[in-house]
Amino acid sequence: MELRLENLTKIFTNKTGTDTTAVDNLDITIESGTLVGLLGPSGCGKSTTLFMIAGLVKPTSGKIYFGDDDVTRLAAEKRGIGLVFQNYALYPHMTVYKNILFPLENMDVARDEAIQRVKDMANLVGIGELLDRKPAQLSGGQQQRVAIARALVKRPRVLLLDEPLSNLDARLRLQMREEIKRIQRETGITTIFVTHDQEEAMSISDKMVVLDFGVQQQYAGPQQMYNNPGNLFVAKFLGNPPINTFEAKIDKKHLIINEQKLMKVDLPDGTYDIGMRPENFRAASSDSKIKIEVDIKEIFHIGRDTMIHFEFNNQNMRALVDSEAVTDKSKKIDLTIKKERVYIFDKKTGKVIDHA
Ligand code: ATP
């Protein structure tokens, strides 16, 4: 089912009358069956967006559509949503079986069918053998699986996951990411996954929405967004190690860096923000069009690649290059980068400018 947010806005007013715009005119159409990662720094409005979709927070303005149904004013329990929280929120005194069955008890589902659905969901999430246990007898990952089964047993129209993996240790997180992706594929339910972890969002999402101060920055597939960031915020938010950024001038159709012409660009003269991802550098060859000579300050070997630190245009920068291109004694290296991987951003709006 398609999920559409139309100019969705939430303004919180505190006791002293100060307004906080938590979500600002969000306008997104999420295609049916998509797993969307909702990503952004702390306080950017992720949970508020999720809770508005769930019906737990009332929007100040705007609309929410599930398919053709306008659910903006519909009560949470009538929306057909499955919610999974970071802290699982299982009933401690109930067995796994009862926990999963619970949402069906208030629904008009025949007993036999309910039992079958609980078993099917438990098997789907990989806890079919644990139905008789209590939550305290389960690991964190198993508890989160129970929470997902409980959310799915109602056959929701939308599955909403709020930082569901934050309480798990690093190894389990990786495993559960894959599990959530598999479960989502098998059920085909339109899913929103809230996280502040860009790597988690990149690995799990079909598409991502990046928010900053409640404002949508970009909506695109992870690789698309990584390789074609729409603005400086997205470019900086995605990537580890982060993108190198600095200011540079364009003078008479040339991008000038370290007082040298780096490349030709068909843009007006002025100052721009420039971004270059560390892994987009290569060691230059004799026929490289773009050549950057750098003094190496530090060298770190990371498996097959080597990270070098250097100063460039008065900024500390990093490049990830093939280990064969440098030795521990290297002092200088000529780097190159493809023209389309030099990102140029408008200084005022932060928006990327297509120049390649
Ligand atoms: P985090 O990653 O830290 O959970 P988030 O992206 O989920 O953050 P929200 O919880 O949606 O962000 O909050 C967005 C903004 O709205 C923040 O500035 C927050 O302080 C504010 N806010 C959230 N809930 C309320 C509330 N009930 N009353 C007033 N302000 C609120």
Q: DSSP assignment, residue 239?
A: -
| Ligand 1 nearest atom to the CA of residue 214, by list position | 14
Task: State pLDDT tens for residues 42-72.
Answer: 999 999 999 999 999 999 999 999 999 999 9
CA of 12 to the centre of ligand 1 (A): 9
Burial class (CB in 10 A: 0-12, 13-18, 19+), 28: middle
CA of 18 to the centre of ligand 1 (A): 14
Distances (CA, A) of 17 to 9, 14, 20, 52: 18, 5, 10, 22
* Beta strands at 315-322 and 305-312: parallel, antiparallel or unpaired: antiparallel
Q: 327 CB contacts (<8 Å, ≥6 apart)?
A: none
**Amino acid type, 137:** Q
The tokens for 72 are 């903006």
For atom 18 of ligand 1, the residue with the nearest CA is: 43
The tokens for 148 are 């997902």
Q: Indicate whether 234 pLDDT > 80.
A: yes
Burial class (CB in 10 A: 0-12, 13-18, 19+), 25: middle
Q: Indicate whether 87 pLDDT > 80.
A: no
Distance CA 200, CA 266 (A): 37
CA of 25 to the centre of ligand 1 (A): 16
Residue 105 pLDDT level (bands cut at 50, 70, 90): confident
**pLDDT value of position 355:** 80
Mean pLDDT, the chain, rounded, equals 91
What ranges make up the beta strands (E) of 136-243? 158-162, 190-195, 207-212, 215-220
CA of 40 to the centre of ligand 1 (A): 12
For atom 2 of ligand 1, the residue with the nearest CA is: 42
The model's pTM is 0.90
Supply the CATH classification number for the domain 3-237.
Answer: 3.40.50.300
**pLDDT value of position 317:** 92
* Residue 76: closest CA among 100, 59, 51, 101: 51
Q: Indicate the Cα dihedral angle 214, 218, 219, 221, nearest 10°.
A: -130
CATH class of residue range 244-355: mainly beta
Among 12, 162, 216, 217, the mutation site with the greatest number of ligand 1 atoms within 8 A of its Cβ is 12
Strand partners, 312: 315
Task: State pLDDT tens for residues 279-321.
Answer: 999 988 888 888 888 889 999 988 888 999 998 877 889 999 9
Q: DSSP assignment, residue 303?
A: T
| Ligand 1 nearest atom to the CA of residue 50, by list position | 11
CA of 43 to the centre of ligand 1 (A): 5
CA 288 centroid distance within chain = 35
CA of 214 to the centre of ligand 1 (A): 9
Return the domain boundaries, the chain: 3-237, 244-355
CA of 42 to the centre of ligand 1 (A): 8
| Ligand 1 nearest atom to the CA of residue 57, by list position | 27
For atom 29 of ligand 1, the residue with the nearest CA is: 12
